[in-house]
Every structure is written in structure tokens, then in C-alpha cells.
Structure 1
Amino acid sequence: MTPLVQKATSATKWSALDVFMRQGVQFVVTVILARILVPEDFGIIAVLTLFIGVATVFADCGLGSALVQRQNTTHTDESTVFFFNIGMGAVCGALLCMAAPWIASFFDQPLLQYLSYAMALNLFVGTFGSIHTTLLNKEMNFQTTTKVGGVSSVLAGAVAIYMASQGYGVWSLVGHTVVSGIVTVVLLWVVHPWRPGLSFSSASLRSLFRFGGYEMVSTLLDVFVTNLYAILIGKMYSVRDVGLFARARNTQLVPVTMMLSIVQRVAYSTFSSVSDDKARLVRGLRQAQAVAMFVNLPIMVGVIVLAEPLVLILFGEQWLPCVPMLQVLGLGGVLWPLSILNLNVLRAQGHSGLRLRIEVIKKVVAISLTVAASYYGIMAIAWAQVVISVCTYYANTHYTKVLLAYSGCCQLRDLSMNFVAVVPMATAVYLMADVMHTMPVIEILVAGTLGFGIYLLTCRFLCAELLNQSLVLTGVRTNPVQT
């Protein structure tokens, strides 16, 4: 095993622990809150997410990604970004406060005005820890982020659950976000030795912005398209429908996001370190995809087939209307990890201009499809996301083909046995769920365990090499893998 693979494997383990602690705790908290609160509460927050996301992107301006991508940075570079982020955070927070009355009026939800004020404050506070987080990711020091994330998630979750149980409603969700942000910033300053210097370089800022500017626009487009559904549903239908759709979407995203957060953080740093060696970059992409799809495929099948008992167990009967949405969105999540990993390859090579070109094209397509679908109902919006996911995959793999001679079709061909291996699992889970008429938890345990066992057995015979790569990179096995 090469030093790079050893570092990536170690980073993957700590990244996994960080993600499972942070997002795992957050998911448990969400499950508890979903049984106390109503869909309308989650819908109001989902509507606000777009505005918070846009403000956050402008506060960062893509400079964090630029620091990670640049292999040699100075303390002046880091201090410049730190002070710039704080200044932009203050400006964006103030603009969000100014827009708060309009947001509340547009959706006819007066409470949105005061929620916007609270989230604007949280945005400003978060900028004080942005450089620390960037440096930890660049160093692949996920052991520290694991500790910080675990503590902040537990404390924020406890506060949110207490507030919800005391009848604070939607404010408990805001409390969770604010407490998590404050605790995270404080702990980052305690555990990481970096401190800003009294220096600010306009030349450094311009240099970093050449890459970060493209990143900012790309991320801005992504945030807008990702949260467009909340604006359309909230305006054309109701905040309750927004809450139901958001619950389906977030439930589908939880396992994928957890898995991809592990792989992506390590992959981007690893890809950046070998960005000048195309052969190693292709091998690294193949191995990252092997890990991602080995995990993602059975999870998405489970979400699609077992959606109803899953929703009943986690959230209760009041959330059952989101089941059909969850099943359709699960189908759209199959190719998502591959899309993101291909985008990371482009970012790691410093081709932010090409990435922006891709983002503009696919976001125009996504916006058009989502807006058109909104006139035909909420389920039409869900199906539009499936079409968008396919278009996004082929758009993201275009320049991988041009720059590395590794096309989207070739990537799917390399993973074809994984797709074949999931068919027996899907069949077994569907038949088992269809014949079982028992408690939802038993249904999921029996059908899920049987299906995953069949999937592992099938992978063992059809795609043993990919299975072995997945186990090596996650540290389960120690067989050498080249990178």
C-alpha cells in the first residue's frame, strides 16, 4: 500500500467517524423532532434554506476551496481569506436582515422575518471558523473534526429537543442550527493552533479568487437549483407540502450524503495531490467510485422498496404522504455519487472555468425542468429530479472524458456488475416485503438483512475486485491497492 493510499485510508476512517457522529446524531435529533413538530415547521425552515444558502456562498466566495486546491499557501493567504470572510459574512447577514420582511410577505408567513434575523446572526458567527475547517480538510485531519462535530451535534441536538418539548415549535430547529454553529466555532479555536496574522493582501485575494470566483458561481447555482423546489412548492402549494417534500428529500439524502461526505472530503484532497498524474487520477477516481457505489446502490434500493415502513418507524403516520416522493427521489439518487466525484476531479485539476461552464448548462436545464414540472403537481417535481440526475451525470463526466479519456459510459461499464448485483437484492427485498404483514421494524430488519446478504454474496462472485477495493479503502482489508 502506497503512502498516499495509507493516508487516504486513515483519513477515510476518521472522516467516516466524523460524518457518522455529526450527521448520525443530527439524523437522530431530526427523527425525534419530526415526532414532536409538524410538517409545517420543517416547511418554513426549508423555504428559508435557499436564502441562507445563497448568503453563505457569497460569504465564502469560493476561497475555502481555492485554499484546499492550492498546494502551497502562505499564512498571509489564510489571514486574508479569514478577514475577507468575516467582512462578507457581516455584509451578507445585514442584507439577509434587510430582505427578511420581503421574504415573509412573499410566502405570507410573518414568522419568516424573525427566523431570518436569527439565521443571519448564525451566518456571521460561522465565518469565524471557516479557515480552521478549511485547513483541517486540507490536512486531512478528520480526527479533530470528528471530536468537534461530535460535541457540537450532541449539544445542539439536546437544546433542540428540549425546546421542541417545551412548545417552541419551529424555533427549536433554529436553536439547533445556532447552537451548533456557535459551539463548532468555539471548539475549532480551542483545538486548532491557527491564528490570523495582522496582514491582508489584495494580490493574494485576487490570485485565490481566480479559482474561487468560479467555485462561488458554481456553488451558487447548485444551491439555487437544489432549493428551488421549496420556493416553488411554498408559493404554489403550501408550506406543509414543502415540509413533506423536504422530509422525503432529506431522508433520501441522509445515507448518500453521509457516505459521500466521507468519500468526497478524502477524494478531493487526494485528487488534488495527484492532479498532475492523469493515470493515478483515473485510478483514484475508479477506486472512489467503487467505494461510493458499493454502498450507495443497496441503500437506494432499500429506500425505494422499504419506503413506507421506513417512514412509519422513523417519523410516524403524519409523514406517510411523503412515501411516494421518497421512492421517486431514491431512484434519482442512484447516480449522484458518481456525478459529484467526477466534479471533484475537475476541481482538483484547477479547471474551475470548465466547471462553471458545466454548471451553467446543467442548471439551466434543471431550472427549466423543475419550473415546468411544478405546474403538474408535487410528484411531477420529484420525477423531474430523476431526469435531472441523469442529465447531471453525463454533463459532469463530459470533461472527464476530454481531459482523462474516461467517459461516463466507460465508468458505468466499469461498474456494470455492481448494477447487476443489486437486481437479486431488489427482487428479494420486494418479495419479502410483499409477503410479510407484520410490524414495520421487523419487516425492515428481515427484508433488509436478507437483501444485503444477497447483495454481498452476488458482489463476491460478479465484482470481487471492486468489492476488494471498497474494503481496502475503508480499512476492512489491508491488501495493497495502487493509487
Structure 2
Amino acid sequence: MSVSKKFASSAFWLVLGTSFGNISGILVFFVLARLLKPAEFGIVALASIFVDVSRIMVSAGIPEAMIQRETWDDKVASTAFWTSLALAGALCAVLIGVVAPISSAYYDPTLGPVVAALSLMLFIDSISIVHLAKLQREFRYKLVATRTMISNIAGGALGITLAYHGYGVWALVITRLVVGSFEAIVNWVSAKWQPQFFFSREALRSFFGSSMHLLGGQLLATANGHIAAFVVGMAYGPAAIAQYRVGARGLSMVVELTINPLQKVALSAFSRVQGEARGVGNAYLRLTKACSLASCPVFFGAAAIAPDFVAVCFGPQWEISGQVMAMLGLVVAPATLLYFLYPALTAIGRTQYVLFSNIAAFVTNLAVSLVTVGFGVVQVAAGSTIRAHVTLPFALLLLKRGLHVEWRKAIFGILPPFVASAIMALVVALVRHWFLMEWHIVPRLVAMVALGAVVYPLVLLVVGRRFLNENFGEFRAMLPNALRKGPFK
């Protein structure tokens, strides 16, 4: 099977798995948001920041390095496995022995035990991280998607049951641990690989340089994704961080359904592209153009419907989260252009550029969060979106140096969907304000989504007919065979 067909098949299964995960996730959160208090969500969200950053250190760039290798080497894989396990032990000791006691003493008594419990996720990750990389390099995304769907069903049922019986924050903690354990077991069994009692410095050095750049980039990217919420939590407490994180989660639910599946298989596909930087650069442009047809209306549309979407899905007590989601949704242009930049740079081994970009993003995001936090939670979200636009030229410079892609080609490549989506969002917002405010919130939300679904393609036909003709083939290749041979032929 060719790389393009593998990519299309992988994207299809990831879309299916992610779609199911998002729908089930919305339903589960719909219930949990009414059973748990915002402060309880906030405690777990704050603890997750420490744990998520540590989880990146446990991976140490290992999955990407293993995916990039031309052939699978059991000695290198075994070295990676034991390295990850050792890192998990060291970081778990720091979280339990240092972070947890300080958190309980100076922030909230519940935070320390939650940090200590969630630190077990480091061990869970370490025992299957190499196995997952093996599945990904073999394009076995059907299995990964099936695993995700099963774990979402079981995890959702467990979380709701525990929350209903009054477990509070521990309903979320226990659910994460159980789901993580299940996925690790599936990865281990499905990969059909067992680590050897072998460790080689030479094997470690074979991917050490690339992994260290990638690790730094991933650490900063993860910290960058959490820094605004962390600053909000430090300034206003657990309930405020929950409001911010739920707003961000509302946007990510929509994005994961449409965009993230393509990004997850991009590294595997880019790594098989011939022609070094220019070949990967051309692939980046094609994929970004095709992706913009979905990403632009998703982000702009999410911003337009955010208040009603959050209120319907999560409840009226999350009103601030709706405003946060609206502000974050306006990051459409930087998000679209950067979705495939990092996988493309990683595929050709230029991970230092990923590191440089994430350093700039982290420093500026931290500065903006500290400046805006005094004005409120929503203002922090607005500042984060502004920061993404201000630092975009630096990312475009890396695009030119790393992939030999001119910034004009990248920007003008997504312009028709951007313009059509902006017009769509404006129409939806104006119709809501002038005609739909007296409606019940559920039919109003449905009407807004339906209106956007009609306006966007009509406007795109006017402003981007040539763009549609050029990119139709890209989307046709991503369809299942049955559809590709049918009416889309």
C-alpha cells in the first residue's frame, strides 16, 4: 500500500475514533459538569499541569524518534523502553516527594494527594510508549482508534458512576488511571514486541540529538498550552482555572473531531516523503491548504457559537468558559499554519527549529498571561490569541528556513477558506444578536450551526472556486474507498 493510501486510511480511522471520542466525551462531561463543582474540576486541572509536563519528559521524544527510523531495531527500542521507565521513576519520586507536599501546604490540601495519585500515569505511559510508537510507524491506526473508542466508553461510565456516588475529584483521578492502564495493556499486547534486558549508550545516542531538541520543544509546547490556565489558577483559585480549562476544552472537542486526526498521522506520512526539505515542504503546503477548508470554519464557527455551545453542553454555571472559548477560537490563522509545521520539521530532523519556535511562544505567552491576568479570565484568553498572531512571523521564518516554503505561499494558500469563514462567523453572530436571542438556547444553537453550514460553502464558492478545484483531489484521497469510487469519482 502506498504512503498516500496509508495516510488516507489512517486519517479515516483516526477521524472515526476521534469523532466517537468527542461525542462520547461531550456526553460524559455533560453529566460530570452537573455532578461535580467547578472547584473540583480545577483541582484536577491544576494537578494535571504538573503531571502532563512530566509525561512529556518520560517520552523524551522517543515515539517520534522510533517512527522516523528507517528500520525497527530491537536493541534501540529496548534502550528506549528502559530509558523511559527510569525517567518515570525519577519524576514520580519528585512529584510525590516534593510537588505534592508543597501543593498541599501552600495551595489546597486536596491538591497534593491528587498530584501523587496522578503521578502513577508516568509509569503507565513508560511501559507502553515504545509499543505505541511501533503501532504508529506501522500505520495501525485502526487498532488505536478501536482502543480509544472502547476506553472512552468504559472510562465515561466509570467516571459518571464514581461522581454520582460522591467521589468528587477522585472520580476524575481514578478514571484517568484506569483508562490509561487499559490503553497501555492494549498497546503492549497489540505491538507483539517485548523489550530485551539490554541497554546501549550507542543505541541511545543514535536518536539522542534529535530527541533532545524534540523533547525541549514538546516540553515548551505542553507548558505553553498550560501556562495561561496555571497563571489564572494561581491568581483566582481552582474554580477559575476550571472555567478557563473548560473553555479551552470546548474548543478542543471541536478541533479534535476535524483537524487533529490529520495532524496525528502527518509525522508518519512526512517521514516517508522523498526529496528532503523541499519534498516535505510541498507536502506541507498541500496538506495545509486542504486542512484549511475544515480548520477555518471550525475555529471561526466555534468562536461564533461558543456561549451557547458551552451552556448547552456543560451547563449555565460555565458561562465564563463560553467567553474563553470564543476568544481562543479566533486563533484560526496561526493554528492552521502551524498544525503541520512541527510534524514536517520533525520528519526531516530539524527539531531545533521546533524548539526555537516553542521557546518564543512560551516566553511571550507567559509574559502576556502575567500582564492580562489582572483584568480577568476572559482577558487572559484574548491575550493568548493576540500573542499567537504577533509571533506568527517568527514561525513563518522557520517555515522558510526549514522547509524552503515562502510565507506568501503559506498565507495565500489558506486565504479563501479564511475569508469565507470570517464572513460566515460574522453572519452567524449578527443573526444571533438581531433575530435569535429570544429563542430557547437549544434550537438557537442548532439554527446557528445550520446557518453556518449553509453560508460557508456558498461564500467559498464565490471567493474560492479555483481553490476548491485545486484541493478537491486532496480531500477525495482521504475518503473511504466506497465513497471515492461512488459519487465522488
Q: TM-score, normalised by structure 1?
A: 0.93
The structural deviation recorded for 1:278 is 4.1
Q: Is the 8 A contact 1:393 1:408 kept in 2?
A: no
The structural deviation recorded for 1:469 is 3.9
The structural deviation recorded for 1:275 is 5.5
Q: For structure 1, which segment, 373-382 or 168-177, has the greater mean C-alpha deviation from structure 2 after superposition?
A: 373-382
- Mapping of residues 11-410 of structure 1, within 5 Å: 11-99=10-98, 100-107=100-107, 109-274=108-273, 276-410=275-409
- In structure 2, relative to structure 1, the CA distance for the partners of 1:174 and 1:181 (3 Å cut) is same
Q: For structure 1, which segment, 167-176 or 393-402, has the greater mean C-alpha deviation from structure 2 after superposition?
A: 393-402
Instruction: Name the counterpart of 2:457.
Output: 456
Residues in 2 aligned to 1:261 and 1:215: alpha-carbon distance in whole angstroms: 19
- Partner of 1:445, secondary structure, is helix
Task: Tell me the matched-pair count.
Answer: 477
Instruction: Name the counterpart of 2:478.
Output: 474
Matched, 1:445 2:446: yes
Q: Is the 8 A contact 1:11 1:141 kept in 2?
A: yes
Residues in 1 aligned to 2:190 and 2:71: alpha-carbon distance in whole angstroms: 23
- In structure 2, relative to structure 1, the CA distance for the partners of 1:276 and 1:432 (3 Å cut) is same
Structure 1 unaligned residues grouped into runs of 5+:
none
Q: For structure 1, which segment, 400-409 or 43-52, has the greater mean C-alpha deviation from structure 2 after superposition?
A: 400-409
The structural deviation recorded for 1:11 is 1.4
Residues in 2 aligned to 1:77 and 1:261: alpha-carbon distance in whole angstroms: 29
Show CA shifts across 1:169-222 (max 9, x none). 111111221111111112222323122123221111122111111111111112
Instruction: Name the counterpart of 2:421.
Output: 422
Residues in 2 aligned to 1:469 and 1:459: alpha-carbon distance in whole angstroms: 17
- Runs of 4+ aligned residues of structure 1 deviating over 6 Å after TM superposition are none
Residues in 2 aligned to 1:280 and 1:189: alpha-carbon distance in whole angstroms: 34
Aligned residue type for 2:450 = T
- Partner of 1:306, secondary structure, is helix
Residues in 2 aligned to 1:200 and 1:194: alpha-carbon distance in whole angstroms: 16
- Partner of 2:128, secondary structure, is helix
The structural deviation recorded for 1:126 is 2.1
The structural deviation recorded for 1:380 is 2.5
Residues in 2 aligned to 1:20 and 1:227: alpha-carbon distance in whole angstroms: 24
Q: Is the 8 A contact 1:12 1:263 kept in 2?
A: yes
Residues in 2 aligned to 1:321 and 1:402: alpha-carbon distance in whole angstroms: 41
- Partner of 2:196, secondary structure, is coil
- Partner of 1:71, secondary structure, is coil
Q: Is the 8 A contact 1:421 1:455 kept in 2?
A: yes
Residues in 1 aligned to 2:265 and 2:477: alpha-carbon distance in whole angstroms: 11
Residues in 1 aligned to 2:256 and 2:290: alpha-carbon distance in whole angstroms: 14
- Partner of 2:340, secondary structure, is helix
Residues in 2 aligned to 1:25 and 1:96: alpha-carbon distance in whole angstroms: 31
Aligned residue type for 2:106 = F
Aligned residue type for 1:474 = M
Aligned residue type for 2:468 = A
Residues in 2 aligned to 1:275 and 1:53: alpha-carbon distance in whole angstroms: 34
- In structure 2, relative to structure 1, the CA distance for the partners of 1:380 and 1:466 (3 Å cut) is farther
The structural deviation recorded for 1:334 is 4.4
Residues in 2 aligned to 1:233 and 1:429: alpha-carbon distance in whole angstroms: 30
Q: Is the 8 A contact 2:92 2:120 kept in 1?
A: yes
Residues in 1 aligned to 2:329 and 2:31: alpha-carbon distance in whole angstroms: 23
Structure 2 unaligned residues grouped into runs of 5+:
none
Aligned residue type for 2:151 = S
The structural deviation recorded for 1:32 is 1.8
Q: Is the 8 A contact 1:345 1:400 kept in 2?
A: no
Residues in 2 aligned to 1:337 and 1:31: alpha-carbon distance in whole angstroms: 28
Residues in 2 aligned to 1:467 and 1:310: alpha-carbon distance in whole angstroms: 30
Aligned residue type for 1:61 = A
> Percent identity of the aligned residues?
22
Residues in 2 aligned to 1:209 and 1:258: alpha-carbon distance in whole angstroms: 34
The structural deviation recorded for 1:358 is 2.6
Aligned residue type for 1:281 = V
Q: Is the 8 A contact 2:96 2:115 kept in 1?
A: yes
Q: Is the 8 A contact 1:64 1:212 kept in 2?
A: no
Q: Is the 8 A contact 1:252 1:333 kept in 2?
A: no
The structural deviation recorded for 1:392 is 4.3
Aligned residue type for 1:240 = A
- In structure 2, relative to structure 1, the CA distance for the partners of 1:452 and 1:335 (3 Å cut) is farther
Show CA shifts across 1:381-425 (max 9, x none). 112111222144333322221243323332111121111222442
Q: For structure 1, which segment, 401-410 or 52-61, has the greater mean C-alpha deviation from structure 2 after superposition?
A: 401-410
Q: TM-score, normalised by structure 2?
A: 0.92
Residues in 1 aligned to 2:187 and 2:61: alpha-carbon distance in whole angstroms: 20
The structural deviation recorded for 1:43 is 1.0
Residues in 2 aligned to 1:425 and 1:409: alpha-carbon distance in whole angstroms: 24
- In structure 2, relative to structure 1, the CA distance for the partners of 1:325 and 1:239 (3 Å cut) is same
1:465 paired residue among 462, 469, 476: 469
Residues in 2 aligned to 1:358 and 1:321: alpha-carbon distance in whole angstroms: 30
Aligned residue type for 1:105 = A
Residues in 2 aligned to 1:235 and 1:106: alpha-carbon distance in whole angstroms: 11
Residues in 1 aligned to 2:451 and 2:371: alpha-carbon distance in whole angstroms: 41
Residues in 2 aligned to 1:127 and 1:24: alpha-carbon distance in whole angstroms: 29
Residues in 1 aligned to 2:277 and 2:245: alpha-carbon distance in whole angstroms: 39
Show CA shifts across 1:259-298 (max 9, x none). 3321112211111111534443233212321332211222
Residues in 2 aligned to 1:216 and 1:427: alpha-carbon distance in whole angstroms: 40
